[in-house]
Amino acid sequence: MGRHRTDELDGGFQAPEPPPRRRSRSGRGRVLVPLAGAVALAVLFGVAAFVIFNRDHDCSAGKLPLRVVASPDIEPALEKIAGNYNKAMHSIDSKCVEVTVARESSARTANAVAAGKSQADFWVADSSLLMESLRGTPAGKALPQVEGSIATSPVVLAAGRSFAPKLSGTLQPSWAAMISAANVANVEGPGRKVRVLALDPQKNSAGLAGLLAAAGVAKEAKLDKALVGALKELSGQLAADPAALLASLTVKSGSRVPVGVASEQAVYAHNAKKPEAPVVALYPKEGTLSLDYPVTILTKDPEVLKAAEDFKQDLATEKSKKTLRNAGFRDTEGKAGDVLSKDAGFASESPAALEPPDGATVSRMVQIWSRLNLGTRLLTLLDVSGTMALPVPGTGMTRMQAINKIATEGLGLFPADSELGLWSFSTHMDGQGKDWKELVSIGPVSESVDGTLRKDLLGRAFASIKANPTGDTGLNDTIKAAYTQLTKSYQGDKINTLLILTDGAGNDDPDGGVTNSQILRFLEKTYNPKRPISILLIAFGPEAEQGKQQMNALAKATGGEAYIAKDILQVRDFFLQGMERRICAPQCDNS
């Protein structure tokens, strides 16, 4: 192939040279010609850019709304991200996506989604733990699967900055220490100097994560009973929301320093408002669980689904991640922004992560919390037979005095909304043949009875009651009467219990009455697992072991438990074990 010549035209001849041009008198012509060319190029490039831009940002078919619902803590950051996203004019099928972000508690959104009433297209909850707890319910089985996480925030302990130094000798930051401080039965523990506040785990994911973290640590350390005592105490120390909890940490309760459980981001958000009394994050030494802000796409509309996927991709960009870090969140790898600095009271490094619980564990914790927080309805039967006047060796007390101390210790564990009552029993207590006497009718302890609070009536009754020197022990007749009354007046929103305090001599009724075999048959026939009334029997005295077999049989017939106290202080554990049985009732193992 020949080489193409650039100096040839038609026929291979060179074009004649043009005549010499006349020199211009000024340089204006040389300027105008290039300028005109530049303008033409600019116009062409502008047109091209316009065409390209509008091809990728074509809003000719209008707008495509994407409704995002987010947990209140992350909503402000998502609002900023959505604003930038909308300005960038993301186009789907010639429609520009318009993202709106609304705030709503994750628990409320979850319930709406499960009921099929949510209007959201795109949901950012605060934790997948909440999703797991809901999946255990019939309605929760319809919940869609999450599609990844966009941020994290560790759950931490928190205290007022001015109070934190005072905790060093009392409570080292750990879940085990929190359990010990909150344990209602550990009256000599750190709870004397520390008051632990919590968030309702049924309404707040940080509250649920904190309980799950504490429960995991308690299981490893064999602190199950202490955990029950802590949960019972925490149920009465709940804050409405993280803002209220953190604000209350700066108000000392007498000599007790308040300590709470919240997310790290909530602590940052509180301090970002520059309060007079800031709080600091305390990182549990065992590690912790984190809120993980999962994304769930709820829409079924094909166009909106494309918009949701596009917005989800935008949330994964570095620009969006930086916006979240600047709001006090960590990224999904635990990386923090500059706002979570050591000078600000945070740990820049992500705390150690505890093993996330599975769905069954989450559901169980929710069930535990629900059952422990059912109201209490408890009728106490107090043995006042003649043997109760005998001394307890080495204590300087009679059996009656010891039992009264046990009762005072145990009943003090029940919250103010409990319904309590008291009967005494021996023989012929209220006329011939009646072995029991009602001292205080069962009802709310805060209720006034003839001008006196029931709580005060109970205290006076325990303080004044004396043993009947010639009385025998009409236990079986008393149990039958009390169990019948509780059955007739059963309350489904409460844990109904019959508590028996005795010296363990068993049934000793010279007039006959109900026999041991008859009372067992009666209880087995009357007990209804759908309306359970359990017997909790506590015996104290040298004869207690002799009646242990019958005591166990009475308790077992009703899904309850029988205990023999060798030390008065043991009663705290007995009452906690009784509370533990609320969790499994009526399917408890009674062996």
How far is the C-alpha of 482 from the C-alpha of 434, rounded, in Å? 12
The answer to whether residue 134 is domain-embedded is yes
Are 443 and 560 part of one and the same domain? Answer: yes
Q: Is residue 199 part of a domain?
A: yes
Tokens coding 237:
């120390």
Q: Does residue 442 fall inside a structural domain?
A: yes
Residues 76, 218, single domain; the answer is no
Rounded Cα–Cα distance for residues 318 and 316 (Å): 7
Whether residue 315 is found in the same domain as residue 417:
no
Q: Which of 265, 291, 317 is the last residue before a domain boundary?
A: 291
Q: Are residues 457 and 560 in the same domain?
A: yes
- Please report, for the domain that includes residue 474, its CATH number: 3.40.50.410
Let me know if residue 139 belongs to a domain: yes
Per 3-state DSSP, the chain is made up of helix, strand and coil in percentages (nearest 5) of 40, 20, 40
* Residue 187 belongs to domain spanning: 152-291
Residue by residue, DSSP assigns 501-549 as EE-S---B-TT--S-HHHHHHHHHHH--TTS-EEEEEEE-STTGGGGHH
What is residue 155's DSSP assignment?
E
517 within domain boundaries: yes
Tokens of 8: 């040839």
**Residues 297, 287 share a domain:** no
Is 363 contained in some domain? Answer: no
- What SS3 class is residue 146? coil
| Two structure tokens written together for 589 | 């193992």
Residue 228 belongs to domain with CATH number: 3.40.190.10
| 417 and 537 part of one domain | yes
Residues 186 and 92 in one domain: no
Query: Is residue 365, in this structure, part of any structural domain at all?
Result: no
Q: Is the pTM of this model over 0.85?
A: no
Q: How many CB atoms lie within 10 A of CB 39?
A: 10
Query: Per DSSP, what are the bridge partners of residue 297?
Result: 122
Tell me the pLDDT of the chain (591 aa) as tens digits: 443 433 433 333 344 444 444 444 444 444 334 444 444 444 444 444 443 444 457 889 899 999 999 999 999 999 999 999 999 999 999 999 999 999 999 989 988 888 888 999 999 999 998 777 777 677 677 778 888 999 999 999 999 998 888 787 677 899 999 998 888 777 677 778 888 999 988 889 999 999 999 999 998 888 887 888 888 788 878 888 899 999 999 887 677 889 999 999 999 999 999 998 899 999 999 999 999 999 999 999 999 999 999 999 999 999 999 999 999 999 999 999 999 999 898 998 999 999 999 888 888 888 788 777 777 899 999 999 988 888 877 778 888 888 787 777 667 667 777 899 999 999 888 877 789 999 999 999 889 999 999 988 998 898 888 888 888 888 999 999 999 999 999 998 888 999 998 887 677 777 778 999 999 999 999 999 889 999 999 887 777 788 888 999 999 999 888 888 776 666 666 766 666 665 555 555 543
Residue 178 in domain: yes
Between β-strands 494-502 and 452-453, what pairing exists: parallel, antiparallel or unpaired? unpaired
Question: CA-CA distance, 171 to 40, in Å (whole number)?
Answer: 76
Residue in 175, 176, 183, 236 with CA at minimum distance from that of residue 576 = 183
Does 460 share its domain with 545?
yes
User: Which of 246, 276, 291 is the C-terminal boundary of a domain?
Assistant: 291
∠ CA 355-359-362, rounded to 5°: 75
Among 142, 91, 148, which residue's Cα sits nearest to residue 123? Answer: 148
CA dist 312 and 302 (Å) reads: 15
Domains: count for the chain: 3
